Amino acid sequence: MTTPDNGWIRASLACTLALLLAACGGTGTADSSANGAQTLSTPMTQESSEAEDTSAHNAQLTAQTLAQAESQAQMADASQPLENLLPGSIATKEAYVSGAIARKAAVVGIPAYRFYNPGTGAHFYTISTIERDSVADDFLSPFNLEGPAFWVAGSSSPGLSPVHRFFNTRTGVHFYTISEAERANLVATSRHYTYEGVAYHASQVAGQGLVAFHRFYVPGKGFHFYTASESEKANIQANMSNAYRYEGIGYYVLDSGTEPQSPQPGPATGTSQSIVLQLAATRLSGTAPLAVQFDSTGTTSSLPSQHPFHHVRYSFNFGDDRGLSWPVSGLPKNAQSGGPLSAHVFDLPGTYQVRVRATDQAGGYSERSMTVQVLDPNAVYASTGTVCVSAAANFTGCPTGASRVTTLPSSATFNGRRVLLRRGETFGSISIPHGSQNVQVGAFGTGAKPRVSSVVVGTVRPTSTAFPRDVSIMDLNILQGFEQFSTMARLLLYRNTFDPPTSGTIVAQINIASALGYVVESNSLSPGQYFQPRELFVVENQLRGSTSNPQMGMAGLGTRFVVMGNDMGTAQQHTVRLWAMHKGYIAHNALRGGSADGIRHALKVHSGGLGDFNDNYGISGTTWASRQIVIGNNRLGDATDNNSWTGVAGPQNNGSDSREGLEDVVLESNVFHRGPNTNTEFIIMGRRMTSRGNTRADGGTPNISQYNNSYQLLPSNWVGPFYYQ
């Protein structure tokens, strides 16, 4: 920007400083930013090079701020009303996801107007209508008004944070940040930035009714460019990356000036008058790899004799097409068709548009979509937030700036960190203690997966309600097994290899919350202080046992529970045993079976009773029925499987334990492999059970049955109907 432009801007801003809330940036057409970029002719100087280095550091501060806010939202007290939040405080994630934050902010929402300077390529924003008119009417002004670009909150609103404005005296362009750390750093270290106060309010957390506000740095000019337009962002990255360096999301603004009509708006398109599609997700943002379950079980249908869980078909597209397929089913990882539950792991940072179409039996359909924001782990766990461990002190491939140590860190230091183990090396046991959150344990370097003795998360003696949350264990070779004792939220076991245990008696190589009832009874916390284990993802692990050890390959219970893409087989008893499951998705696995006595199953799903499910353990305890489960596109059984039944979704037996309810289960598109003793592919017993599209690898007809309805204590209203399609 030239010196005359600088003088004009300063003179113009001085007269309305109390009203002015402006900055460079934009969300208009891609053409204006493209034209501007072509005029960026100022050569790179030492001063601008220093600014570039500072900008990269400051961008990391913003990324860390957003990641920390996401974590705070996950932990926030859901019992506190939004009206009671202190200004600038982070609300619960549900408040953002439901649109409550955006609806509150819409009451004080105002548009931000965008101007463009074709001579310099700089943009200018204001929310002041007085200044907008003053700049637009001044024939000496170098700026062209492009109109309203997006909406912000003009004053404080629950769940929003102040956005700080600086004036760059060297470039004559404004700079905005929502990061308090970046604001403090600029005030302390930059002689070119003058702090001008709070401009407006926006969100540090993604949610419904909020739009990502993207941030670019222009090294040739030393200023920033902003846009809330996904198409403009994509155009710049595709065609102008030599001039515009993308720095990530700056914050989230309102997507309009009108109040969202409901937490989950109606279908975007559709031809059906009888179906109303709903779409929910376990989360809308987080650090890569990010595991998300998508849930359309709230869909309703007015067609007679049609139950939307069983008779409506759902087609999900995750917006993450990298040409990858599931090894077991051969189906693409980017799509899923069938029941109303699905899941996906987003491996790479970025913004993803997830879509689902629900089609009823009359051919009518309804569609919905949502956006998932995946953060870069190198930004979230920047610098010493990452710890690389190599006993041989070989740190090739360790992220720049990470701590480098030769022994496993102490348990207490895992909290909030990414710990990477050197591939090809062997380590002891990993213990992630009670109270740990936002932990990743993985691998770096090349070669075989790092070998660890065992992995334990949490304790059997919890002294507080700070149960583990958001823990990812990936790319390890685990010798003795994984154990999570009581309860936790957001577990991802990803791409691990489990060897047959060689010592002791292992209950299960993957054991999730199996001791929850014992823990509740044996400790001082009241039952109401525990929650049911939730958002559990076991994805793409390889697991082999023997007929002597472990007792089970995998055992667990929980809600929003995903078992996907695993290859598991051989145990003393069952390959996979799920004590109780709510909103379960079991798909694309090879569950091969094989047991010591030949009377077990490759997959066994039962429940704790006939009760309703509640996230609060004090309300539902262990007596809730398993509900809303999709079992699809699996390979079940094996030519060496010596069991007579390959799988069951029903009470665990027909005696005293038969008072166990299952409701709304879909068994679909599975391929069964018979062993020498197989006589029944699958038993289904419960209320509203569907079997469709299942086949046998040898071409025969699979035997899917109700075991003659012989469960003695199961009430008649928990039996059927059964849908065979």
| Cα–Cα nearest to 631, from 577, 573, 709, 690 | 690
Q: Which tokens is 17 given?
A: 């400083």
Instruction: Locate all alpha helices (DSSP H) within 144-293, ordered by sequence.
Output: 180-189, 230-239
Judged against a pLDDT cut of 50, whether residue 551 lies above it is answered with yes
Three-state DSSP state, 689: strand
Within 10 angstroms of residue 155's Cβ, the number of other Cβ atoms is 14
Rounded to the nearest angstrom, the gap between the alpha carbon of residue 216 and the centroid of all alpha carbons in its chain is: 25
Cβ neighbourhood burial of 339 (10 Å; 0-12, 13-18, 19+) = buried
Rounded to the nearest angstrom, the gap between the alpha carbon of residue 650 and the centroid of all alpha carbons in its chain is: 30
Contact 659, 610 (CB under 8 A): yes
Rounded CA separation 658/667 (Å) = 21
Rounded CA separation 373/140 (Å) = 42
- pLDDT at 196 (0 to 100): 87
Judged against a pLDDT cut of 60, whether residue 635 lies above it is answered with yes
Rounded CA separation 627/473 (Å) = 27
Q: Taking residues 544-555, what's their average pLDDT? A: 91
* Three state DSSP letters for 14-25: HCCCCCCCCCCC
- pLDDT at 707 (0 to 100): 76
Least confident of 96-110, 201-215, 240-254, 456-470: 96-110
Output the average pLDDT for the chain: 86
Q: Which one-letter amino acid corresponds to residue 507? A: V
In sequence order, what DSSP letters do the residues of 76-135 get, joined into one string?
Answer: S-TTS-GGGSPTT----HHHHHTTHHHHHHHTTEEEEEEEE-TTT--EEEE--HHHHHHH
Judged against a pLDDT cut of 60, whether residue 240 lies above it is answered with yes
Least confident of 40-54, 422-436, 568-582, 609-623: 40-54
Tell which phi-psi region holds residue 567, choosing left (phi > 0), alpha (psi between -120 and 50) or beta: beta
Percentage of residues in the chain with pLDDT exceeding 90? 61
Contact 553, 571 (CB under 8 A): yes
Judged against a pLDDT cut of 50, whether residue 607 lies above it is answered with yes
430 strand-pairing partners: 455
Q: Which one-letter amino acid corresponds to residue 33? A: S
Least confident of 63-77, 391-405, 459-473, 632-646: 63-77
Judged against a pLDDT cut of 70, whether residue 44 lies above it is answered with no
| Cα–Cα nearest to 641, from 589, 579, 597, 605 | 597
| Cα–Cα nearest to 148, from 200, 108, 113 | 113
CA 70 vs CA 160, 469, 626, 696: distances in Å: 13, 12, 30, 45
| Cα–Cα nearest to 206, from 174, 170, 248 | 248
What domains are there in the chain, each with its CATH number?
A: 48-254 (no CATH), 275-375 (2.60.40.10), 379-707 (2.160.20)
- pLDDT at 320 (0 to 100): 96
- pLDDT at 270 (0 to 100): 47
Judged against a pLDDT cut of 90, whether residue 137 lies above it is answered with no
- pLDDT at 139 (0 to 100): 57
Judged against a pLDDT cut of 70, whether residue 281 lies above it is answered with yes
* Three state DSSP letters for 592-646: CCCCCCCCCCCEEECCCCCECCCCEHHHHCCCECEEEEEEECCEEECCCCCCCEE
223-238: per-residue pLDDT in tens? 899 998 888 888 888 8
The DSSP letter of residue 70 is H
Rounded CA separation 601/571 (Å) = 10
* Three state DSSP letters for 183-220: HHHHHHHCCCEEEEEEEEEEECCCCCCEEEEEEEEECC
- pLDDT at 7 (0 to 100): 32
Three-state DSSP state, 144: strand
CA 661 vs CA 72, 307, 322, 514: distances in Å: 37, 19, 40, 19
Contact 714, 606 (CB under 8 A): no
Q: Which residue would you say has higher pLDDT here, 131 or 540?
A: 540
Q: Which one-letter amino acid corresponds to residue 354? A: V
In sequence order, what DSSP letters do the residues of 302-370 get, joined into one string?
Answer: -STT--HHHHSEEEEE-S--SS-B-TTT--BTTEEEESSEEEEEE-S-EEEEEEEEEE-TTS-EEEEEE
Q: Which residue would you say has higher pLDDT here, 230 or 584?
A: 584
Three-state DSSP state, 577: strand
Rounded CA separation 641/2 (Å) = 78
Rounded CA separation 663/651 (Å) = 11
408-428: per-residue pLDDT in tens? 999 888 999 999 999 999 999
The DSSP letter of residue 435 is T
163-221: per-residue pLDDT in tens? 998 988 888 888 999 999 999 999 998 888 898 888 899 999 998 889 999 999 998 88
- pLDDT at 18 (0 to 100): 30
Judged against a pLDDT cut of 60, whether residue 20 lies above it is answered with no
Q: Taking residues 583-598, what's their average pLDDT? A: 95
302-345: per-residue pLDDT in tens? 888 889 999 999 999 999 999 999 999 999 999 999 999 999 99
51-87: per-residue pLDDT in tens? 555 777 888 899 999 999 988 888 887 777 887 788 8
Q: Taking residues 346-350, what's their average pLDDT? A: 96
Q: Which one-letter amino acid corresponds to residue 129? A: T
314 strand-pairing partners: 338, 358
- pLDDT at 45 (0 to 100): 40
Residue environment code for 162-188, b if the CB has 16+ CB neighbours within 10 A, otherwise e: bbbbbbbebbbbbbbbbbeebbebbee
- pLDDT at 42 (0 to 100): 32
Least confident of 87-91, 481-485, 525-529: 87-91
Q: Taking residues 521-539, what's their average pLDDT? A: 95
Three-state DSSP state, 714: coil
Contact 472, 374 (CB under 8 A): no
Rounded to 5°, angle at Cα 348 from 388 and 512: 70
- pLDDT at 708 (0 to 100): 66
Q: Taking residues 596-614, what's their average pLDDT? A: 95
Q: Which one-letter amino acid corresponds to residue 371? A: T
Residue environment code for 481-514, b if the CB has 16+ CB neighbours within 10 A, otherwise e: bbbbbbbbbbbbbbbbbbbbbeeeebebbbbbbb
pTM: 0.68
Q: Taking residues 534-563, what's their average pLDDT? A: 95
